[in-house]
Amino acid sequence: MTIDFTEIVIAVIGLVFSAVLIPLIKAAFTWLKGKTQNEALIAALTEAETIAGNVVASLQATVVNGLKEKSADGKLSADDIKAVSEKAATMFLSDLSSQSLAVIQENADDITAYIKNLIEAKLAELKTNA
């Protein structure tokens, strides 16, 4: 009986490949997928924050100030606040890319609450900086 070292080397390489390299490759692909998802989420949140800031500034300049001037006490009524909030959400959703919206929806429990809170945060930021 002769031992064929080539067959032994091939068998050992096959074992090493299946036992070590395949799990390492799977782990690398899992890591890459997670990294890509994180980058997509960061990009979507950055876009959402920018758009929310733009929407709040735009509405403040075009709608809110006009409503305040028409008001006897210079303040918005509850109905005015509701109408402006709805307009802000509509503008936000129309300006946000569909890709970013999809990513945020995948990660947010309640997209409506997220939008409302983001716009309110940008409004508070605008008031603080004014």
pLDDT at 127 (0 to 100): 79
* Domain ranges across the chain: 5-129
Contacts of 12 (CB under 8 A, 6+ apart): none
What is the chain's pLDDT, residue by residue, as a tens digit (130 residues)? 566 778 888 887 877 777 777 777 788 888 888 888 889 999 999 999 999 999 999 988 887 777 777 767 777 778 888 888 899 999 999 999 999 999 999 988 899 999 999 999 998 888 787 6
pLDDT at 61 (0 to 100): 85
Q: What is this structure's pTM? A: 0.72
- 57: tokens are 């500034």
CA trace torsion 47, 48, 52, 55 (10° rounding): 60
